[in-house]
Amino acid sequence: RSRDDTGAATKLQHEGWCGIIDHFEALFPKKYLRWWNLQGQPALVEIVRIEPPIELTRPGGAKDFRPVLHYRVIKGHIDEPKPLVMNPTNANSIAAIHGGKFSKWPGKQIVLFESTTDVWDEVLKKKLTKPCVRIRAPMNQAAGPAVS
């Protein structure tokens, strides 16, 4: 929550969005799913499709290519459901649950949840812990064999 000059909690609002999120990153609308869209709660989703990698510009200007996961919410709430840009950690999690053939993932269920990850900040020259979206198996489904 943000606070007004008296210290009372207030809602942060801007056009097209209203939520109670006290983190500077939430001030800037994003095209893809971010950790704050989960509102601190896990969401059960069904994978609809995986799009080919898109080009991203990373901090410092380096180019990266990442696939995009589209889903539909089954249970839970995601503030402004948006596609999820995949990373190797999340792709490995899905592979461990549903197998390494991503063509078989549509129709399968996963849980999206908020977590943290350690990243190296080139500007500050130190390791930072940042919030992120991670993936796990639904409660009624154990993960299969690990995929390398």
Q: How confident is the model at residue 20 (pLDDT cuts 50, 70, 90)?
A: low
Does the structure show a pLDDT above 90 at 100? yes
What number of other Cβ atoms are within 10 A of residue 135's Cβ? 21
**3-state SS, residue 84:** strand
Cβ contacts of 148 within 8 Å, gap of 6 or more? none
* 36-72 pLDDT, tens digit each: 899 889 999 999 999 999 998 877 788 999 999 999 9
Q: Is the pLDDT of residue 17 over 70?
A: no
pLDDT band of 19, cuts 50, 70, 90: low
Reduce the DSSP state of residue 32 to 3 states and report it. coil
- Which DSSP symbol is given to 102? G
Q: Indicate the pTM of the whole model.
A: 0.77
